[in-house]
Amino acid sequence: MGYQLIENYGIIGDMQTVALVGMNGSIDWFCFPHFDSPSVFGAILDDKKGGRFRIAPLTEEVTCRQFYWPGTNLLVTRFLSPEGVGEITDYMPVRSSTRGEPYHMLVRRVSAVRGSLHFRMECQPAFNYARDRHTTAITSSGACFHSPELSLGLATHVPLQQDGAGVRAEFTLQEGERAVFILEEIPQGRCDMTARSEQEASALFRETVDYWRHWLAQCTYTGRWREMVERSALVLKLLTYAPKGSIVAAPTCSLPEGIGGERNWDYRYTWIRDAAFTLYGFLRIGFTEEAGHFMEWLEARIHELNPDGSLQVVYGIDGRKILTEETLTHLEGYRGSRPVRIGNDAYRQLQLDIYGELMDSVYLYNKYGNSISYDLWRYLRRLTNWVCDNWQRKDDGIWEVRSGQQHFVYSKLMCWVAVDRALRLADKRSFPADRDRWYKVRDQIYEEILAKGWNREKQSFVQYYGSDTLDASNLIMPLVFFMSPTDPRMLKTIDAINRSPAKGGLVSNRLVHRYNVARAPDGLDGEEGTFNMCSFWLVEALTRAGKHDHQRLDNARLMFEKMLGYANHLGLYAEETGARGEALGNFPQAFTHLALISAAFNLNKTLGGKD
């Protein structure tokens, strides 16, 4: 059938897993039962072998559209043709935890809005990343798929026919008629599910709509970009693993940062680095409960320090530590982009910046959420002392390079943040602390960054000590209060980054590269797109610098508005944007939506609007 563009997908979910639904009505990515479980439908990584669940009209003249049911994560795909108009409403039912156990099913409601349409349904599971065989059985109420580790039932009143290891059906709907397909787990070896009536499906629909609207009503942001901020919040909620409170970086794996290249990674895990941005994003717009749940997950990790007192970079959504990287050689990858990787060996790396993001998140939570306990402080004090002992080491950096360790400026910056926030917490709460040592180390880090991280010839902060390569991560400096946004060194760094690559900068058409891969080898072949998160960081750096410089503020607003134009038709962002405006990398990416929320909040505030 061919690969769809990454930006042509929408996302639905139930805070345990998600499904990617294409504009052509095909679900091409679905892991079950959890985000990081093996895929059941994975056509996005191999069009022929990966498996899919498609419903679409049998007509050549059709126009496809998608939108979210207002204020929710229920996705509507519309098919407009001369014969009629049809819709598929896709969702995974959710309800308040006070109303019973989670549903954990995928619902597809097909309807004819105008005229008459003939539909075709194809359900072709490919369990365990298309590695496991399965059996298929058809009953009067649907079909059952049994693999060695998982059994799923497809319940429907529409008669089904076996199609290889999957099933298919063709059916006609007249105006006002509906058909329902529900996919859910069933007991191994059994096939006794019951197809739900349209009335039952409607009740699930209404309950799910009510859940999402009630949740979104907590949002306190009422500024200029309310619609995009609310959609970003809804995306972040979808990427939350409800049983533990953790958030996946993205719900997909191995979508390429460059078509045909090897920069393909598994993002279905939780990075400590995301902590400060996650808490900041949720707290800024009123979602204190989500911030609290994530803080609980974070505190559990802090209580599981390594024997030397350090933390791991990335964890499984359930807190597990081993995330062994594996290559799926039998899959061709999205549009031939090999290798397809699952797992992530970054968990073995040393990335010193995570301690700054961790301490900043705890500091923010203590300030805007709930007060932290003394028992937690004891672990944080141990972590801070570990930073004091280890900040001078080389590390692998925020971008998880595979070309060898360096003294990355961003890593040193966040070590400074770690010690600074520990001191602020200790003073705010009168906690016992090694204050004299911490003050000395904090000042030592600061002076070293200015001495070794600043390049006089470039007139800019650079990627690592001794290099002449720019790095967009240094835009964070004013955001974490390391340096005034109007300090001459900061303004010169912003200006250096905000030039085109041909002039030594990192910005193409107001989109920001994280670094120049040609000038800063990272151990990987191929090129990559611009980093959406970094583009929002530049917006925020310009915003803060623009409080007393209207030209910079105008530039920030124009850049932000342009960035909004690179979202897909549903307001979703992948990790990167390519030269033609196409989405690249895993999709949708939490970090990008967090950066959007922060930039929208601060830009709106600086422009003189309400939050």
What pLDDT is attached to residue 459?
Answer: 97
What DSSP designation does 270 have?
E
pLDDT (mean) for 530-558? 97
What pLDDT is attached to residue 611?
Answer: 57
Instruction: Give the chain's mean pLDDT.
Output: 95
Residue of 184, 173, 137, 181 lying closest to 157 (CA atoms) = 181
What pLDDT is attached to residue 503?
Answer: 95
Q: For residue range 224-238, what is the model confidence (pLDDT) as tens digits?
A: 999 999 999 999 999
**Residue by residue, what is the 3-state secondary structure of 527-544?**
CCCEEHHHHHHHHHHHHH
Proportion of the chain above pLDDT 90, given as a percent: 89
Place of tokens 């075709």: 120
CA 355-515-346 angle, 5° bins: 45
pLDDT (mean) for 66-79? 98
Reported in sequence order, the residue ranges of 469-520 that DSSP labels E, i.e. its strands, are: 507-508, 511-512
Mean pLDDT is lowest, of 62-71, 397-406, 519-528, for 519-528
Query: Would strands 166-174 and 341-342 be described as parallel, antiparallel, or unpaired?
Result: unpaired
C-alpha pair distances (Å), 458 with each of 262, 281, 442, 502? 31, 33, 26, 15
What pLDDT is attached to residue 99?
Answer: 64
Identify the band that residue 565 occupies on the pLDDT scale cut at 50, 70 and 90.
very high
Proportion of the chain above pLDDT 70, given as a percent: 99
C-alpha pair distances (Å), 61 with each of 76, 80, 89? 19, 8, 21
Per-residue pLDDT at 609 exceeds 70: no
Domains in the chain: ranges and CATH: 6-191+204-215 (2.70.98.50), 218-606 (1.50.10.10)
What pLDDT is attached to residue 100?
Answer: 66
Per-residue pLDDT at 284 exceeds 70: yes
**Residue by residue, what is the 3-state secondary structure of 537-586?**
HHHHHHHHHHHHCHHHHHHHHHHHHHHHCCCCCCCCCCCEECCCCCEECC
CA 356/CA 272 separation, integer angstroms: 10
> Token pair for residue 462?
């650079």
CA 255/CA 50 separation, integer angstroms: 14
pLDDT (mean) for 502-531? 89
CA 41/CA 36 separation, integer angstroms: 13
**102 CB-near residues (< 8 Å, 6+ apart):** 14, 16, 94, 95, 242
CA 179/CA 302 separation, integer angstroms: 49
Per-residue pLDDT at 275 exceeds 80: no
Write the DSSP assignment of 360-395 as a string of letters.
HHHHHHHHHS-PPPHHHHHHHHHHHHHHHHHTTS-B
Identify the band that residue 274 occupies on the pLDDT scale cut at 50, 70 and 90.
confident
CA 271-277-280 angle, 5° bins: 140
Q: For residue range 299-349, what is the model confidence (pLDDT) as tens digits?
A: 999 999 998 889 999 999 999 999 999 999 999 999 999 999 999 999 999
Which residues are bridge partners to 178 per DSSP? 111
